[in-house]
Amino acid sequence: MPVSKAPRKKTPTSLGKARTDRAVREIAHLINHVTSCVDAGSRAESLYWETLAHATLVKLMTDLNEPALDTALSAAGEMSPDIQDTLLSLCEAVAESQTHELDGQLYETMLVSLPVAVWSRYAIPAGPLDTQLDTLAAIITHLRAHVLAKDAKVAVAPILGSIDQIPPRFTTLRLLCSELTRAALNDEPYIKLPKKLETSAELLADPRFILVGVAVPAGKPFFRWQELLPDKSGDYVSRESCFVTWRTQTRPLFAKLLPACEFEALLPDAFFSAARAADRAVRPHAIQAGVALITDSLKLQPNQLRAVVAAVGDPHLLEYRISFATNDSDDVVHGTVWPVFTAEEEDQEIERVLRAAGVTNIVKHNDMFEPEECEDCGTPLFANPDGEMVHPEWPLDPAESKAHYH
Ligand SMILES: [Zn+2]
């Protein structure tokens, strides 16, 4: 999240995109509540404004008014990064958690993701798990035993999905959360998947997710690490020990779902938090897998490669793009994107990963590049050693690389 304190504009100018006068008023109130929440001098006041903003967001998402959310977020962005971050984190909260009533009992629900960072020379599996329900059931048994609180009810979407296959909008994600948690409350283990699923981008390293809906009686813990140990010491199970057990116990199960892949299961968590953790975990593997692909295919040593590191943003830093060329040519043969989580994130970690992979010839451009993509295929463009944004062109037969080149 950007944390810089840019000067705040008094009135957002992009409210005109909202569909109706009523929506314009709702968005203006929402922005006002979020701004007041940021300005509040006390936790008590801040919570007051947050509750109002939360209620408006629930209404907008229930009405499936995604354009209003987009408008509010861009208007908030025009005002200050703080306001935009606060609104964004409220949107995430409303999309991934809800309350439901069943038989007079109030339940809190959460969309929980089981993320796995995966890397492979071959296509990384992504899709329904209809034929592997036993493996999925065993994973859920470990989830109940080591990650979720003991009173948690759970239902699962039977798919090992890529981010492309997960509903892309706040409103659609909230619908999925609702469907999963209703199933959990009705003691149904699975939900039905949509007939048509998006295809996944073919990357050397990419996260995969299993999504579950979790419901707990209101006020009760969601996760094992929120529960007191039974020994009356007043201590809690640590998040780390839950993670170690989860990772160990599920390793052979995820191995069945991910043949010919290397992977690292991460700690299950609320959807957005888990998605960021997975994106972060994948970053170094994307570089290592890229270097391995190039050196194996082109019969080169890592020290015969040049890596080009370019900051990309508009105007705030969005990501780094790392491209690879050989020492004797400026042609970019492969590129990988390194997402950042704050606009201030620097590139030392990238350099460390490159050096660890044996690439010592590293060109860093000082300019910020625009986030350009290929108009034909959507592939991001990458900086060559001269600082021009170019399409990566794989020098061999495309069959020798799984990435898309033309
Ligand atoms: Zn292209």
* 406 residues of the chain, pLDDT tens digit each: 333 333 444 444 444 444 567 788 899 999 999 999 999 999 999 999 999 999 999 999 999 999 999 999 999 989 998 999 999 999 999 999 999 999 999 999 999 999 999 999 888 999 999 999 999 999 999 999 999 999 999 999 999 999 888 888 999 999 999 999 999 999 999 998 877 878 877 888 999 999 999 999 999 999 999 999 888 888 999 999 999 999 999 999 999 999 999 999 999 999 999 999 999 999 999 999 999 999 999 999 999 999 999 999 988 899 999 999 999 899 999 999 999 988 888 899 999 999 999 999 999 998 899 999 999 888 899 999 999 999 999 887 655 555 444 4
CA of 393 to the centre of ligand 1 (A): 9
CA of 390 to the centre of ligand 1 (A): 10
CA of 394 to the centre of ligand 1 (A): 12
CA of 309 to the centre of ligand 1 (A): 20
CA of 149 to the centre of ligand 1 (A): 47
CA of 381 to the centre of ligand 1 (A): 9
List beta partners, residue 205: 119
Its pTM stands at: 0.88
Give the C-alpha separation, 231 to 34, whole Å: 43
**What does the angle CA 125 – CA 130 – CA 136 come to, to the nearest 5 degrees?**
75
CA of 125 to the centre of ligand 1 (A): 23
